[in-house]
Structure 1
Amino acid sequence: MPRYKSLDEIFDEPDEFGLLDIKKTNRGAAATPDARNAEIVSQVNAFYESNGRIPDDNSLDLEEMKLGTIWRSIRTSPSAAMMAADRNRLLGHGHPVVSTATIPETESPAVPEPDWREEVANEEVPASLDDIFGDDDLDVHDAVLNIRNVTPASERQLPDHRADMFPCPDFEHFEDGFAEMQSKLESGDRKVLPVQDNVEITVYEGDFFIHRGLLVYVAEKTELSRRSGKPDHRLRIIFSNGMENDPLSSSFRKALAADKTARIVERAGFGRLDPEWDQDSMAVTGTVYVARSLSRDPEIAEVSRILHKVGVTSQDVRRRIADAKNDPTFLLAPVEIVATYELHNLERMKVEDLLHRFFDAARPQGLVITDRFGKAVHPREWFYVLPEHVSQAVQLIQERRLHEYRYDTQRQLIVKVEQGN
Structure 2
Amino acid sequence: MARYRSIEEILGEEDDLGLLNVTLRPRAARRPEGERDAELVREVNRFFERTGRVPDPEAADYEEMRLAILWAGLARCGPAGHLAEEDVNGLLSGVSLTLTAEPAAPERDWRDEPDADEVPTSLDDIFDDDELDVSDAFTAIKHVTPAEDRLVPDHRAEFYPCHDFERFRDMFAQTQAALEAGEREVRSINHNEEVRVDEGSLFIRKGLLTYVAEKAEMTARAGKRDHRLRIIFSNGMESDPLLSSFRKALADDATARAIHRHGIGAMDPAWEADRIDLTGTVYVVRSKSREPAIAEVSGILLKIGVTTQEVRRRIADARNDPTFLLAPVELVATYDLVNLSWRKVEQLLHRFFDAARPRDLWITDRFGRKVYPREWFYVLPEHVSRAVQAIRESNLHELEYDPESQAIRKKR
User: Which category of TM-score, normalised to the shorter sequence, fits these structures?
Assistant: 0.5 to 0.7
Asked if 1 retains the 8 angstrom alpha-carbon contact of 2:302 and 2:378, the reply is yes
Which one of the candidate residues 222, 227, 231 is aligned to 1:228?
222
Which one of the candidate residues 272, 276, 293 is aligned to 2:270?
276
- Which TM-score applies when normalising by structure 1? 0.61
* Residue matched to 2:371: 377
Say if 2:296 is the partner of 1:297. no
Say if 2:181 is the partner of 1:209. no
Q: CA deviation at 1:271?
A: 5.0
Which one of the candidate residues 317, 321, 339 is aligned to 1:323?
317
* Residue matched to 2:399: 405
Asked if 1 retains the 8 angstrom alpha-carbon contact of 2:332 and 2:381, the reply is yes
Cα distance in 1 for partners of 2:208, 2:160 equals: 15
* Residue matched to 1:145: none
SS of 1:379's equivalent in the other structure is: coil
Asked if 1 retains the 8 angstrom alpha-carbon contact of 2:214 and 2:230, the reply is yes
Cα distance in 1 for partners of 2:308, 2:153 equals: 24
Cα distance in 1 for partners of 2:213, 2:151 equals: 30
Matches for 1:106-125 after TM superposition, within 5 Å:
none
Cα distance in 2 for partners of 1:164, 1:337 equals: 22
Cα distance in 2 for partners of 1:216, 1:156 equals: 27
SS of 2:241's equivalent in the other structure is: coil
Cα distance in 1 for partners of 2:291, 2:360 equals: 15
Q: Which has the larger radius of gyration?
A: 2
SS of 1:415's equivalent in the other structure is: strand
1:103-160 per-residue CA deviation (whole Å, 9 max, x = no partner) reads xxxxxxxxxxxxxxxxxxxxxxxxxxxxxxxxxxxxxxxxxxxxxxxx897x787310
Asked if 2 retains the 8 angstrom alpha-carbon contact of 1:290 and 1:310, the reply is yes
Asked if 2 retains the 8 angstrom alpha-carbon contact of 1:165 and 1:245, the reply is yes
* Residue matched to 1:181: 175
After the TM superposition, which parts of structure 1 deviate over 2 Å for at least 4 consecutive aligned residues? Answer: 155-158, 196-199, 267-275
Asked if 2 retains the 8 angstrom alpha-carbon contact of 1:177 and 1:282, the reply is no
Superposition RMSD in Å:
1.9
* Residue matched to 2:411: 417
Identity of aligned pairs, percent?
64
Asked if 2 retains the 8 angstrom alpha-carbon contact of 1:157 and 1:373, the reply is no
Matches for 1:288-367 after TM superposition, within 5 Å:
288-367=282-361
1:260-298 per-residue CA deviation (whole Å, 9 max, x = no partner) reads 111111146545564323211223110000010000001
Asked if 1 retains the 8 angstrom alpha-carbon contact of 2:277 and 2:342, the reply is no
Cα distance in 2 for partners of 1:157, 1:167 equals: 26
Which amino acid is 1:329 matched to?
Answer: T
Cα distance in 2 for partners of 1:233, 1:216 equals: 17
SS of 1:356's equivalent in the other structure is: helix
Asked if 1 retains the 8 angstrom alpha-carbon contact of 2:160 and 2:239, the reply is yes
Which amino acid is 2:296 matched to?
Answer: E
Asked if 2 retains the 8 angstrom alpha-carbon contact of 1:159 and 1:372, the reply is no
Asked if 1 retains the 8 angstrom alpha-carbon contact of 2:193 and 2:251, the reply is no
Which amino acid is 1:187 matched to?
Answer: A
Matches for 1:57-206 after TM superposition, within 5 Å:
158-206=152-200
Cα distance in 1 for partners of 2:351, 2:199 equals: 19
Asked if 2 retains the 8 angstrom alpha-carbon contact of 1:406 and 1:416, the reply is yes
Cα distance in 1 for partners of 2:150, 2:232 equals: 30
Say if 2:380 is the partner of 1:389. no
Compared CA separation, residues 167 and 280, structure 1 to 2 (3 A)? same
Cα distance in 2 for partners of 1:211, 1:160 equals: 23
Say if 2:251 is the partner of 1:257. yes
- Which TM-score applies when normalising by structure 2? 0.62
Moved more, 337-346 or 266-275: 266-275
Compared CA separation, residues 259 and 282, structure 1 to 2 (3 A)? same
Structure 2 gaps of 5+ residues are 1-116, 118-145
Cα distance in 1 for partners of 2:401, 2:303 equals: 16
Which amino acid is 1:362 matched to?
Answer: A
Structure 1 gaps of 5+ residues are 1-18, 20-150
Aligned residues: 268
Which amino acid is 1:395 matched to?
Answer: Q
Asked if 2 retains the 8 angstrom alpha-carbon contact of 1:290 and 1:308, the reply is yes
Which amino acid is 1:206 matched to?
Answer: G
1:168-223 per-residue CA deviation (whole Å, 9 max, x = no partner) reads 12212211111111111111111012112333112111111111111000111111
Compared CA separation, residues 295 and 202, structure 1 to 2 (3 A)? same
Which amino acid is 1:295 matched to?
Answer: S
SS of 2:372's equivalent in the other structure is: strand
